[in-house]
Structure 1
Amino acid sequence: MTSAFRLKPTSVAALLLGLALHAQAAPLQLDLPAQPLDRALAQLARQAGLQLLLAPDMLQVRQTAALRGAHELPEALAELLRGTGLRGRIDAGTLVIERLASGASLPEVRVTAQGEQESATGPVTGYVAKRSATGTKTDTPILETPQSITVVGADQIDTLGAQSITDAIAYSVGALRAPYMERTGDVVVLRGFSVNSSYRDGTRYQANRFDGQQEPYGLERIEVLKGAASILYGAAEPGGVLNTVSKRPTTDPLHELNVTAGSFNRKQVSGDFAGALSADGAWSYRLTGLLRDSGTSIDYVPDNRTYLAPALKWQPNASTSLTLLSEYQRDRTAYGGDGLPTVGTALPNPNGQIPRNRFVGEPGYDRYDIARYSVGYLLEHAFSDKLKLRHSLRNYRMHQDWSSVYIALDLDTDQRTSLGRGAEDRQEKNSVRGSDTSLQYDWQAGGIAHTSLVGIDYSQSKVASGRYDRTAGPLDLYAPVYGGGVGDAVPSYGWRSDTQRLGIYAQDQMKIANQWVLLLGGRRDAVRQDECDYFDPSNCYIDKQKSSAFTGRAGLVYLADNGLAPFASVSQSFEPATGVDHSGARFKPTRGEQLEVGVRYQPAGVDLMLSAALYQLTQKNVLVDDPVHSGFQMQQGEARSRGLELEAKGRATRNLQLIAAYTYTDARTTQASPLYPEAAGKRSSGVPYNQLSLWGDYNLGAFGLPELRLGAGMRYVDATTSQWHDVRAPAYSVFDAMVGYATGPWKFALNISNLGDKTYVASCPYRCFYGEPRKAMGTLTYRW
């Protein structure tokens, strides 16, 4: 917020008195990198809960050294201002910076300054993001967005010690981490629907959900837009959109090295570096990397990764910027996600419980090896203070070598031996090219402020997947003997697909009297799909199939003066459905529609966000088996999800940060095939009625230990059912903990998940999946 006032002549005694009074507060736990002085002062003032005011001629570039650890405000201020000829004082909740005059009074000076403001793609300080572009494709306050959004910033990822996107969202409202401990993709369940497609920096990222997991250390933000959202992103599942934001170049110097060791013989090093490449700051860079060698909680399943993400930014002036982003990732692991029989996991077995570390494959054969890279750019240009152009382009490629053994659903009569095992080799090469171009125009008419957006996006996804079958012998799941090998590979099936998507969208955000925000938007999509046999490319069973759809969204937000923001919205989504019915008619796209009402509360000057939302989400035109024409499908299926989401997130006191979330979800099939009338009314597989999570971390500065930080959390997931059998996965609760210690440039953190080492069945969608056992990781960080 911009403020103006007059600096009056003041004495050294008054300055010392003001600082002494403020020093009665608890020490501040600081983590300020070496950076320009005005930014360092802005961060210091914000953490102390003060406004910052300084004269315009003090904004010249002055670099400060890094300042970390526990400091009283006077001490921190003196350190930052050392040798600058400036001094500070506290005046009615304001940190005033003024020139130090030896033996003379200061002349009266008119000053204006503006505190540091979060951007929609920049770092999130603490747990609460105030702005996002995922919900509108414009830099918009979350309070003004009429649809639920979850943002997990790099600070939260680091505090939780998250090693995957599903780890990072474990304490987020409305999101359910997939039960499988596989590492072949980031599978997230939102509002009862699985979300398999992902976006990076607003453009389509991976070709399918088996393209591997994103490395969270390379992300600035993980953002989830919940519910139908095709208006901005085109074809998408009705549950929502997962959009991740890359770490980007910055002129603020950043140097970080981490060494991690932990459970399952985990060894990892990582680093993050950034800074200006030219004296004027026009060129800047970022280089983020990670190298890991590790086992997992399942025998013979490694978790090895090499990750490197160089980035370069050119910003010749305030109106234009071009950011080049690239990424390389190589994973060496194994599937490990096939699950175990229900008898011996969720159901009793006379031989006892199948060990949770049981590997059902063949050592030396099972593997999931991928190499992938992406390269692209983000271009922004402001033609004026009203008209802005955004253009992005990304090219993504992935090569996969995947071999795995799978087991039968049932056990032999001895209740310990798998009835049979099979094996499959998968060779896959995927690519995605995506582009998004938009014009934003800010204008006013009739007392209404408009932010209008028009854009066009395009993507082409290619998948070439060949499958080869093998045989494998039986396995005693209680006393396995490996080494039987697998049979020769026999070509089985596969496909080569090419999907092209083109969308044109328009949106207007209207702010009326600074208290009402009305959002209206619409989009037209065209999709073309081709699919041919992998082994015989001349045999094409989907030839230039075209789909089109119009989707829209309307929402309204009221911005009360006290920080309360109730909202209501209706939004739509669509997904192409390939194939034809018995008459040869091509299937129509499936459609999603969401009705949502909610309220957010963000008190002024407090790093806290409270939110509540009610929704109904319906998916229509779902494919089901045709009861009359065997082997064909028809579009008579329907699924519906209704729910309540409550969340409190942010800083409860100076030393205490909290995340509290409750989710109620009633997701079920409402219309099924007449062949299976019993499926109508059944709950969706693996989706619990209730989820509850609570996380808190506390700095012990009030007890004279400001370097020490403690964290603890609890996650409760209700019982889940399956549409394929009558086995229920029981409810479970697990506890997590964190200990952190920071001194100077050093920081140590110990993260422990499933603190009590609880053995539990997370879900039984077709087989049963154990939850991850206790995992401890210690990380030593050095920043300079």
Structure 2
Amino acid sequence: MTFSSSLHRPGFLSPSWLTLTIASLHASMVGAQTAGDTSLPTLATVEVVGRTASGAYHAEEAAGAKTDLPLRELPQSVRVITRQAIDDLGATKLDDVLDYVGGVSRQNNFGGLWDNIAIRGLPGNENTGMATLLNGFSSNRGFNAPRDLAGVERIEFLKGTAAALYGSSEPGGTLNVVSKRPLWTTANSVEGYVGSYGLKRGALDTTGPIGDNVAYRLNVAVEDRDSFRDHVDAKRQVIAPAFTWKLSRDSMLEYVGEVIHHETPLDRGVVAVDNKLGKIPRSRFLGEPSDGDVEVDNSTHQLILSQAWVETWRSRLGLSYRETSIEGYSSEPTSLQANGDLWRQRRYRDYASEDIALQAEIQGIVNTGTVEHELLLGVETFRFEMDSVMLRANPSAGNPYAINIYSPVYGQAQATPVANTDTLEEQRNTAFYVQDAIKLAPQWRVLAGVRVDNYEQTLENRRTNTTTKQDPSSTSPRVGLSWLPSEQWTVYANAGQSFRPNSGVDVDGQGFDPEVGKAFELGTKWENEGQRIGVTAALFDIRKSNVLTADPDNAGSSIAAGEVRSRGAELDFAGQVTRNLRVNASLVLNDVEITKDNTLEEGERLLNVPRVNGSLLTVYEDNFANGQRYGIGGGVTYVGERLGQARTQAEADAGTPEFNLPAYTTAKLVGYWRLNSSVRLTMDVDNLFDETYYTSSYSRVWVTPGAPRTITVGMQAKF
């Protein structure tokens, strides 16, 4: 056994190092070309702060994969939404980019208070949402405000199971958000936006060195907007500081922070009448304005120590601390009467959580003969506490607390919520994982890994003075194989297993077995010679078991016996097609259904998952005769028909019709005009043709409508 002798590979210490290296390389190449060397290719301009221009849609690596293998060689489908794509879309929140990622569908968004998606048709827990990471640390535990993109560099959608690296997750995929990092050259940008429905947003992005060994970055955003929904507005403040310390030539300490305050009324949307939507305006609010706003607060702090050792070995020690909370009143629909009266339930929530996690990893190269191994060894431990208090007042015939959907009258006497939920939950986990990226030969790659989780959960019910415990430990393996027949093509296959603990207890007070997923994927990738265009096509088959379903022998109880299957085909395209034109496109066919359940109809689809969805975004850039630059483009998205409310087998047998959300197509326009090197004007038009559509649903009385045509204009200035 021998150790490889190369030292300090690119991207070793931090993403900001790589960004600065690219910028420096570009500057040197431009200088060489100016001197008359025409043999060098023309690279795109790299802008370090503010909205980018002439950047890339196609990414060559993903931090969430935890390997130095280029994405083309990785035996897994990964879709990266780069900062360029975020800026071209005019996206300020995660929800703005979802339609442009194949295989992603929106789920119940908790009345506009969080993000929630399914990847490849499989949603996460309805109370914790999708599997999400922030810089490789879990960020979906607790109560999370809608993701703002002010401090985000890129978003990585790791499709398929990632449990071999990250533990508890969905087998359909995991989302990793990568924060902006400090740069070692001074740069500053301010942005201002105004738009339809009272939108006002300002943002600051500033970065640079503080002496020889410390660099900072600060992103700040403040947003205030009304809404096309009556009596609904939103306010948001984001502060995202980051610091990098060069402790020595081979070690670096990074701090990444983020504080978000978000407040808006909890809005369950509109209702369907006789299984049909559109009977009331999409603007009609069916809650109670006097409830006021629900406030969501998130605070995240991460410390990461990176160390280069001998040869190609390096280590990473990371600490993450997060606090989240949600507090406020809401009036939420329960049932619609024949005369149009909508009965409502009044709730008060006061939830808080604390999450501390520690990761330690060592990674390096080992050669065994002619075979090269890139080994990753890691340990992770976390402690999560969640304090949940909810008061609730249920409607009754004597006090329905109703509002008429056709002629709403607000300001009626409100019921006083009484005790409903009062729990303290604690989760602890210690996990060990190993991954080996093997270069068997010039044309063959193998990626194998396994993670062992030792999970403990304690739930104290303070109303009943009872405590339940469970410890669903799990082993999650994964293996993938890539064949590289040429420098542009890859053919790959992978298989893996995932798990996710089920919350609650059965009729005997025992915890449930965790959900277990098995995922299989077969695909091919193509990348052009200049590595500016990337295409991935994939087939997948995923089975999930131990899904909670009704206990047939004990009414009101559950057992872990349900099963779900998802299978389909995906096509993703992203890149710089010509010097002036870049394109992002996707098309997905997804068949997901319930294969076993004691209550729900077998063979039925899952909520909010279309069989077909696709998108296309194109942007064309060029210069005016006077040297000013412009860009113009547009996007089209299609989302197929989706199930809007789960139907039981008894309802199906009785002939109760399905409730479906209709398919929709939306279009958008984007454009910018760069007046000079420092100032740029932008305009974004969403839902260009003012399509009436519905993005997601939980039931016939909780349906989220999409926004009408909206126009946003902005100005960005660098200094």
Q: TM-score, normalised by structure 1?
A: 0.82
Percentage of pairs with the same residue: 27
1:77-134 deviation per Cα after TM superposition (whole angstroms, max 9, x unaligned)? 5xx69xxxx96113434689xxxxxxxxxxxxxxxxxx99x9xxx9994211111121
Query: Which residue of 542, 550, 558 maps to 2:468?
Result: 542
| Partner amino acid, structure 1, of 2:389 | G
Correspondence for 1:321: 252
Correspondence for 1:718: 640
| Partner amino acid, structure 2, of 1:198 | T
Question: How far apart, in 2, do the equivalents of 1:541 and 1:361 lie?
Answer: 35
Question: How far apart, in 2, do the equivalents of 1:284 and 1:176 lie?
Answer: 38
1:374-432 deviation per Cα after TM superposition (whole angstroms, max 9, x unaligned)? 2121110011232110111111012221211112332x333x331x1221000111111
Please tell me whether Structure 1 or Structure 2 has the larger radius of gyration of its CA atoms: 1
Question: How far apart, in 2, do the equivalents of 1:687 and 1:166 lie?
Answer: 16
Aligned length, in residue pairs: 675
1:649-668 deviation per Cα after TM superposition (whole angstroms, max 9, x unaligned)? 11111111101100110000
SS of aligned partner of 1:144? coil
1:468-496 deviation per Cα after TM superposition (whole angstroms, max 9, x unaligned)? 12367321222222111412231222311
Correspondence for 1:101: none
Correspondence for 1:516: 444
Q: Does the C-alpha gap of structure 1 residues 43 and 181 become closer, same or farther in structure 2, counting only changes over 3 Å?
A: farther
Question: How far apart, in 2, do the equivalents of 1:216 and 1:443 lie?
Answer: 39
Query: Which residue of 762, 769, 773 maps to 2:704?
Result: 769
Correspondence for 1:659: 584
Question: RMSD of aligned C-alpha atoms?
Answer: 2.7
| Partner amino acid, structure 1, of 2:121 | G
Correspondence for 1:23: none
Correspondence for 1:178: 107
Offset, 1:319: 1.5
1:149-182 deviation per Cα after TM superposition (whole angstroms, max 9, x unaligned)? 1111222111101132121222111212336594
Correspondence for 2:26: 43
Query: Which residue of 178, 195, 220 maps to 1:262?
Result: 195
Query: Which residue of 444, 464, 469 maps to 2:367?
Result: 444
The 8 Å contact of residues 324 and 378 in structure 1, kept in 2 or not, is answered as yes
Question: How far apart, in 2, do the equivalents of 1:40 and 1:138 lie?
Answer: 23
Correspondence for 2:286: 360
Question: How far apart, in 2, do the equivalents of 1:665 and 1:304 lie?
Answer: 36
Question: How far apart, in 2, do the equivalents of 1:679 and 1:123 lie?
Answer: 50
**Corresponding position: 1:557 with 2:485:** no
Question: How far apart, in 2, do the equivalents of 1:409 and 1:304 lie?
Answer: 30
Offset, 1:252: 2.3
Query: Which residue of 393, 406, 412 maps to 1:484?
Result: 412
Query: Which residue of 263, 274, 283 maps to 2:207?
Result: 274
| Partner amino acid, structure 2, of 1:126 | A
SS of aligned partner of 2:311? coil
The 8 Å contact of residues 445 and 482 in structure 2, kept in 1 or not, is answered as yes
Offset, 1:267: 0.8
Higher relative contact order (CA 8 A, sep 6+): 2
The 8 Å contact of residues 106 and 696 in structure 2, kept in 1 or not, is answered as no
| Partner amino acid, structure 2, of 1:312 | F
**Corresponding position: 1:627 with 2:552:** yes
1:672-708 deviation per Cα after TM superposition (whole angstroms, max 9, x unaligned)? 11xx3x6111111211110111110111338888612
Question: How far apart, in 1, do the equivalents of 2:679 and 2:626 lie?
Answer: 19
| Partner amino acid, structure 2, of 1:394 | S
Offset, 1:221: 1.4
The 8 Å contact of residues 199 and 242 in structure 1, kept in 2 or not, is answered as yes
**Corresponding position: 1:297 with 2:228:** yes
Correspondence for 1:162: 91
Offset, 1:274: 0.5
SS of aligned partner of 1:231? helix
Question: How far apart, in 1, do the equivalents of 2:546 and 2:314 lie?
Answer: 39
Offset, 1:38: 8.2
SS of aligned partner of 1:216? coil
| Partner amino acid, structure 1, of 2:585 | A
Moved more, 377-386 or 625-634: 625-634
1:157-216 deviation per Cα after TM superposition (whole angstroms, max 9, x unaligned)? 1110113212122211121233659431111110111142321111112423x4212211
Q: Does the C-alpha gap of structure 1 residues 704 and 648 become closer, same or farther in structure 2, counting only changes over 3 Å?
A: farther
**Corresponding position: 1:685 with 2:607:** yes
Q: Report matched runs for 1:422-433 at 5 Å.
A: 422-433=345-356
Correspondence for 1:672: 597
SS of aligned partner of 2:658? coil
Correspondence for 2:458: 530
Query: Which residue of 709, 727, 730 maps to 2:659?
Result: 727
Offset, 1:299: 1.5
Query: Which residue of 670, 692, 698 maps to 2:620?
Result: 698
Correspondence for 1:781: 716
Uncovered stretches (5+) of structure 2, i.e. residues with no partner: 1-15, 648-656
The 8 Å contact of residues 206 and 431 in structure 1, kept in 2 or not, is answered as no
Question: How far apart, in 2, do the equivalents of 1:123 and 1:134 lie?
Answer: 25
Question: How far apart, in 2, do the equivalents of 1:726 and 1:703 lie?
Answer: 58
Question: How far apart, in 1, do the equivalents of 2:636 and 2:417 lie?
Answer: 46
Correspondence for 2:37: 90
The 8 Å contact of residues 164 and 451 in structure 2, kept in 1 or not, is answered as yes
Correspondence for 2:182: 249
**Corresponding position: 1:618 with 2:543:** yes
The 8 Å contact of residues 638 and 670 in structure 1, kept in 2 or not, is answered as yes
Correspondence for 1:191: 120
**Corresponding position: 1:496 with 2:433:** no
Question: How far apart, in 2, do the equivalents of 1:123 and 1:778 lie?
Answer: 17
SS of aligned partner of 1:637? strand
Moved more, 156-165 or 637-646: 156-165
Q: Report matched runs for 1:732-743 at 5 Å.
A: 732-743=664-675
1:6-42 deviation per Cα after TM superposition (whole angstroms, max 9, x unaligned)? xxxxxxxxxxxxxxxxxxxxxxxxxxx9x99986563
Question: How far apart, in 1, do the equivalents of 2:627 and 2:41 lie?
Answer: 27
Q: Does the C-alpha gap of structure 1 residues 489 and 623 become closer, same or farther in structure 2, counting only changes over 3 Å?
A: closer
Correspondence for 1:48: none
Query: Which residue of 232, 245, 258 maps to 2:165?
Result: 232
The 8 Å contact of residues 124 and 153 in structure 1, kept in 2 or not, is answered as no
